[in-house]
Amino acid sequence: MCPDTGKAEAGHRGRKRLNAEENERVHFKEENKMTINNQAVETWIGEMAEMTRPDRIVYIDGSKEQIEELRELAVRTGEMIRLNQELLPDCYYYRTSPKDVARDEKRTLICTKTREEAGPTNNWTDPQEMYAKMKKLYQGCMKGRTMYVIPFSMGVPGSPFAKIGIELTDSVYVVLNMCIMTRVGAGAVRLLEEGADFTRCLHSKADLNENEKYIVHFPEDNAIWSINSAYGGNVLLGKKCLALRIASFMGRNEGWMAEHMLILGIENPQGEVKYICAAFPSACGKTNLAMLIPPELYRKQGYKVWTVGDDIAWLRVGEDGRLWAVNPENGFFGVAPGTNDRSNPNALATTKRGTIFTNVARNLDNNTVWWERLDKEPLVNGEDWLGRPWNGRESEEKGAHPNSRFTAPAENCPCVSSEFNSLTGVPISAIVFGGRRAKTEPLVYEARNWNHGVFMGASMSSETTAAANGAVGVVRHDPMAMLPFCGYNMADYFRHWLEMGRQVTDPPKFFHVNWFRTDEEGAFIWPGFGENLRVLLWMLDRCEHKVSAVKSPIGFQPDPRDIDLTGLDIAPETMKKLLSINLDIWKDEAAGIETFFSQFPDLPKELAEELTTLKKNLLIPTANPRNASSSIAV
Ligand code: GTP
Ligand code: SPV
Ligand code: MN
């Protein structure tokens, strides 16, 4: 039985029953009691409480004391495990229900007034119908529980980019994660008291009934309702739900953009920093690229990489006509497997304090955490992500779930940018699109102009990953890595991108990358990770007109000699292979793009024109890189 509801326990194995006496001792210090002096806020909280019937309502101020009390509560109820506080201070461990381990795209809806406004790529139901259905599910679902009120800001409060939300939840795990991922408390409350509008976010884990799980967005009402999940993107409503789906809708109406992009700064030996945004689908390398450590050769020269964001960028046109970006989040919800001191030492360092680990394996020798490829030695005396005894030497199964995650404060990150809290953001020199493609996409190429860049993003495909429920490794179209995150009709989203291009008078350059090309044996050809800097530096050289490029049917490609391979064991032949495109494969690709686009009756004509150009270009043989006439001016 679930301790605080009396309902059947659908997950959280090993959770202790909380007796009435213990429950009594759960209290919050008087100074933590707060109110939000805003009639609309009070009315809404009252209505939601009326429907969900919690025993108590607790306002979250984000203070250290309150967070500590909630951690203690979670440990007492068995919801979380306190990890070794010497090795991992303030770190906790959490397991979700075994079937609640990733975003659930099938159960994620965009409920606009008309189906057309949500578009062909989103699940849609009439909002009134969905409200009615969900009200039934929410009825009394917080009985015996506490409703936590989390006022939060996406972006630094007071920044022109910032948006305010309030999440109501019955999950302590959600509260503690939101306190890492967003800016909770005073700043948001001040803006609310000044009358700021806010996104109404309601979450209940209810009884984790997977057949009644819904993550529903009502963009026209600035509201998000989520029920029957306790996993990351489904329940940390500031993240994908607000900062992408709702924000993309707001951005279209208000003239800005919400994108599934990392933001990084590259500092050159002269101390100049240039910023790049990159959109890759889930589990395709955003966190890793954002925290990249330059290869030794570059470190010695003085190159540095600074992390502004690893997942979401909000972009506006500055007064100078450039595109400026902020990261609306305050922490990282990163993929654990594969993170180690060679692949991403910065991410690993970020998780050493104040981090919540979800669905990784636990090392019982020292009460720390473990996941696949953390180190060379397999975990021997462990517990897998399902809580079963696990010995990595003997077990055929994985210790950590492939989508197991860490939630870590950005301030822990050794390479966090000094601009992380900037109110105005950072100016963007380049926008990069990319994904996992075994064969089709070359290592890198450049768009001819803004519209071609939009086409490049709109026609992107990538292999699916464990970040969402469903098959893994299936190639699907994922425009701008936003297929699961666009809060309105994707044809209108493309139109908005094109419109933004008309407003940006000093535009960034667009590039497409693929770190995941494989050889005949299926092994990755490009070493990736830190070495990706070599490709980024070529991009910046292009932005600064320092190198020429070669025309190809799909865009401008580097002269292979312009990507520095010093110190890498990559033969020039291999580089050529990485940059090559196969015209037959690309003809199929173009046909696939045409089919994908055909579902949008209202596709902007600019994209149809770009497709026509691509098809025309594919009949032309690839230019010889050494042929001067095919080089374009810098
Ligand atoms: P989300 O948090 O789901 O949005 O994922 P993400 O885009 O931040 O991806 P992340 O950086 O966590 O990487 C996902 C997986 O890809 C990890 O297992 C990484 O080890 C792997 N990966 C990241 N960068 C590279 C790379 O350059 N080359 C290769 N081969 N693998 C990479
Ligand atoms: C992703 O899937 O892109 C994530 C994880 O970053 S989640 O927050 O669950 O969406
Ligand atoms: Mn990530």
DSSP sequence for 520-574: TTS-BSS--GGGHHHHHHHHHHHHTT-S-EEEETTEEE--GGGS--TT----HHH
Point out the catalytic residue in the list 284, 413, 415, 486.
284
Q: Cβ distance 308 to 275 under 8 Å?
A: yes
Q: Which residues contact 585 (CB under 8 A, 6 or more apart)?
A: 439, 440
DSSP per-residue letters across 229-282: --SHHHH-TIIIIIIIIIHHHHHHHHT-EEES-EEEEEE-TTS-EEEEEEE--T
Look up tokens 């001819």; give the residue. Answer: 448
Label the pairing between strands 549-552 and 631-632: antiparallel
325 three-class SS: strand
Q: For residues 204 and 138, is the Cβ–Cβ distance under 8 A? A: yes
Superfamily of 332-409 according to CATH: Phosphoenolpyruvate Carboxykinase, domain 2 (2.170.8.10)
What's the average pLDDT block by block, 10 residues per block, for the chain (634 residues)?
35 38 40 78 96 97 97 98 98 97 97 98 98 98 97 97 98 98 97 97 98 98 98 97 98 98 98 98 96 96 98 98 98 96 95 98 98 93 98 96 98 98 98 96 98 98 94 95 98 98 98 96 95 98 97 96 94 93 95 97 98 90 44 41
pTM value surpassing 0.85: yes
Q: Looking at residue 63, what is its pLDDT?
A: 96
Q: Please report the sign of the dihedral spanned by the C-alpha atoms of residue 430, residue 436, residue 439, residue 440.
A: negative
Q: Count CA within 13 A, CB hemisphere, residue 202.
A: 29
Listed residue (272, 52, 253) closest to 141, CA to CA: 52
Q: What is the identity of the amino acid at 532?
A: N
Name the class of domain 20-79+105-254: alpha beta
Taking ligand 3, which is a single-atom ion, which protein residues have CB atoms under 5 Å away?
286-287, 334
How many whole angstroms from 342 Cα to the centroid of ligand 1? 13
To the query of whether residue 284 is one of the catalytic residues in this protein, the response is: yes
The set of residues, in sequence order, having a beta carbon less than 8 Å from that of 518 and lying 6+ positions away, is: 438, 439, 524, 525
Minimal CA–CA distance to 232: which of 101, 130, 123?
101
pLDDT number for residue 35: 83
Q: Would you tell me the crossing angle of helices 247-254 and 490-503 to the nearest 10 degrees? A: 50
**Ligand 1 binding pocket includes 329 (Cβ within 6 Å):** no
How far the first Cα of the chain sits from its last, in Å, is: 68
Query: From ligand 2's centre to the CA of 339, what distance in Å?
Result: 16
Instruction: Using DSSP, state whether 52 is helix, strand or coil.
Output: helix
Helix (H) or strand (E) holding 473: none
> In a 10 Å sphere around its CB, with 0-12 CB exposed, 13-18 middle and 19+ buried, how is residue 37 labelled?
exposed
Residue nearest to atom 1 of ligand 2 (CA): 282
Q: What is the CATH number of domain 259-327+420-632?
A: 3.90.228.20
pLDDT at 306: 98
- Residue tagged 């990319």 (tokens): 434
Tokens coding 206: 């209810």
Eight-class DSSP state of 416: B
CA 562, CA 541: separation in Å to the nearest integer?
9
Q: Name the CA dihedral angle for 172, 174, 175, 180, rounded to a multiple of 10 degrees.
A: 130
For residues 162-177, one letter each, b for 16 or more C-beta atoms within 10 angstroms of the residue's C-beta and e for the rest, the string is bbbbbbbbbbbbbbbb
Do β-strands 223-227 and 199-204 pair in parallel, antiparallel, or remain unpaired? parallel
Task: Give the span between the Cα atoms of 367 and 365, in whole angstroms.
Answer: 6
pLDDT in the model for residue 54: 97
- Paired strand residues for 323: 317
Contact 328, 314 (CB under 8 A): yes
The confidence score (pLDDT) of residue 30 equals 39
Residue nearest to atom 14 of ligand 1 (CA): 283
Which residue among 101, 154, 239 is best mutated to probe the pocket of ligand 2, counting the most ligand atoms within 8 A of its Cβ? 239
What angle separates helix 172-181 from helix 64-77, to the nearest 10 degrees? 140
Return the H-helix or E-strand segment holding 160: none
Locate the domains of the chain by residue range. Answer: 20-79+105-254, 259-327+420-632, 332-409
Task: Please tell me the number of the ligand nearest to residue 514's CA.
Answer: 1
Nearest residue by C-alpha to atom 10 in ligand 2: 233
259-327+420-632 and 332-409 in the same fold: no
Cβ–ligand 1 distance for 288 under 6 Å, the answer yes
* pLDDT computed for residue 632 by the predictor: 45
List CB contacts of 571: < 8 A, sequence separation 6 or more.
none
Helix-helix angle 490-503:450-458, to 10 degrees: 160
- Distance from C-alpha of 332 to C-alpha of 329, rounded to nearest angstrom: 8
